[in-house]
Amino acid sequence: MAQTEHAAAHDDHDHEHKPHGFWKRWVTTTNHKDIGTLYLVFSCIMFFVGGAMAMLIRAELFKPGMQFLDPAMFNSLTTMHALVMIFGAVMPAFVGLANWMVPMQLGAPDMALPRMNNFSFWILPFAFTLLLSTFLVRGGAPAGGWTLYPPLVLQTGDALPMAIFAVHLMGASSIMGAINVIVTIMNMRAPGMTLLRMPLFVWSWLITAYLLIAVMPVLAGAVTMLLTDHFFGTSFFNAAGGGDPVMFQHIFWFFGHPEVYIMILPAFGIISEIIPTFSRKPLFGYDAMVYATASIAFLSFIVWAHHMFTVGMPLASELFFMLSTMLIAIPTGVKVFNWSATMWKGSISYEPPMLWAISFLFLFSIGGFSGLMLAIAPADFQYQDTYFVVAHFHYVLVTGAIFAIMGAVYYWLPKWTGNMYNMTLAKWHFWLSNIFVNVLFFPQHFLGLAGMPRRIPDYSTQFADWNMVSSIGGFVFGASQILFVIVIWQCAHGGVSKATSRVWEGSLGLEWQLPSPAPYHSWVEAPSMAVIEAGAASHETHG
């Protein structure tokens, strides 16, 4: 509609009906590909902002003694690093990938709710401007940890209402994004694209979207109660007024644990796309993968208190949360075994997306192992709030979620740009990242076991050696990410060669039936049954 008028007004022969001018193309856009790009670019910027904070943290921790950060500033940096990376880098990256890929993989022309799509993205720059500007206000940026535990968080200065409003905005954005994904998947599938024919990436996003809708309002409620406790004299979390500071932790982690899976389920979906392509063999155990994902999502609602084994819960609660947490190992194991079995008797090649996916398999599993150890409540009394936990969640979030995102970008970038990227540079990025991410995070297991608490700006000299190793790993890992930007930039500006529509020899799925770059409006006509059957994973025909 708007696009046709627009194209008519221009005399150049733009077959794709792309709106011209920065404002119309990027600000008021309702195109899922443009909005996907906006999300991904925003996520990349936030990845570097959060990464810069991590570099400052690792620089201060390079050796014992306080070198250049005030402890309050250090606490602000750890808090903001987490908030920026979780809400600014990882989540928007997955929404960006969903925007790009879900319609293309379903044979749909766009997302179901394009204007809301625009709105849900454009909230984010405002939310993060608000959040990051707290560094400039009286009392500094929030320094009570991203978990915002009261009463400590109520000691925040002017930043408190700003941070809470920023969290509200991020939550609103996430909920809108999730509604859009669900409505799209439920209503916009091409005829013949049954639920159990959908690619695993779409499946994992469908389940993730339900998690988002279920828990983001819980977070909004929790932070609103903080707001009223601080400004309106309520005592939700104030023991002196009859409230309960531990209740905040229960509410927070009722959001927080599903949130962890919000950041990993789409990653599972990505890995389930990449491994079959480069093994030249359909995914092993498709149905089991779908059910395992759904089981993990269900379990995510009943394990939250394993984040708070040391708060002094009744024995029965501790037992329940220990056992329910251990159960997660079963569907997660099923997923890892299925990915491994997909490689079995395959014909495997090692292009950059596959390298990232394999790295994910190994390193996410290491995060899974430490997760299993952390589930054991008595042992958790030693691990809780130490660097062992820091190592654990960075293995699942950096080498899990972020590595999957990197794999996804290397996988679909030729489809987005129409160009192949520089494979050598991409492999350099992969190897540098993989070696040094382990130099960065593996020693943190040792530090935690040796007794180093997390969130401390300075430490005893016995922790000096591994901290220095970890910091060196951090600096090189951080610097390596510049290669990522260079590869993407080159690829977007011509790359090394033109991409074919299939791009990869073993790729299945509807997105690879479209030309590269994918036309601005794809699947304006739904793909035929033959295309769906040729394209969609062939699990069903053999199942």
Give, as ranges, the residues between 140 and 169 that touch another protein (CB under 8 A).
143-145, 149, 151-152, 155
What SS3 state is found at 384?
coil
Q: Among 39-47, 105-113, 193-201, 341-349, which window interacts with another protein (CB under 8 A)?
A: 341-349
CB of 317 to another protein, least distance (A): 11
Asked whether position 533 contacts another protein by CB under 8 A, the answer is no
Asked whether position 369 contacts another protein by CB under 8 A, the answer is yes
**Among 157, 245, 492, 533, contact with another protein (rule: CB under 8 A):** 245
Are 481 and 54 in contact, with CB atoms under 8 Å apart? no
The count of chain residues that interact with another protein, using the rule CB under 8 A, is 100
**Cis peptide before 517, with omega less than 30 degrees from 0?**
yes
Phi, psi of 51 (to 5 degrees): -65, -40
**Among 119, 135, 446, 520, contact with another protein (rule: CB under 8 A):** 446
Which three-class secondary structure string do you get for 203-231?
HHHHHHHHHHHHHHHHHHHHHHHHHHHHH
Our CA dihedral for 93, 94, 96, 97, rounded to 10 degrees, sits at 120
Please identify, using beta-carbon distances, which residue of 320 and 520 lies nearer to another protein.
320
Catalytic residues: 81, 110, 146, 173-174, 257, 259, 261, 272, 306-307, 332, 335, 454
Tokens 């404002």 belong to residue: 23
Give the residue among 93, 249, 244, 246 at the shortest CA–CA distance from 174. 93
CB of 136 to another protein, least distance (A): 19
Q: Among 9-17, 90-98, 513-521, 534-542, which window interacts with another protein (CB under 8 A)?
A: 534-542
**Among 56, 137, 376, 439, contact with another protein (rule: CB under 8 A):** 376
Nearest-angstrom CA–CA distance, 144 and 83:
12
Asked whether position 244 contacts another protein by CB under 8 A, the answer is yes
**Among 65, 191, 494, 515, contact with another protein (rule: CB under 8 A):** 65
Residues 344-363 that bind another protein (CB under 8 A): 344-349, 358, 361-362
Write the interaction track for another protein spanning residues 294-313; mark x where CB under 8 A is met and - where it is not.
----------------xxx-
Nearest-angstrom CA–CA distance, 107 and 128:
34
Write the interaction track for another protein spanning residues 313-332; mark x where CB under 8 A is met and - where it is not.
--x--xx--xx--xx-xx--
**Among 246, 432, 435, 531, contact with another protein (rule: CB under 8 A):** 246
**Among 25, 129, 136, 385, contact with another protein (rule: CB under 8 A):** 385
Contacts 24+ apart (CB under 8 A), 501-507: 503/414, 503/415, 503/420, 504/277, 504/278, 504/351, 504/353, 504/411, 505/280, 505/349, 506/276, 506/277, 506/278, 506/279, 506/280, 506/281, 506/347, 507/277
CB atoms within 10 A of CB 239: 12
CB of 331 to another protein, least distance (A): 9
Please identify, using beta-carbon distances, which residue of 214 and 329 lies nearer to another protein.
329
Are 90 and 163 in contact, with CB atoms under 8 Å apart? no
Q: Among 9-17, 33-41, 68-76, 219-227, which window interacts with another protein (CB under 8 A)?
A: 68-76
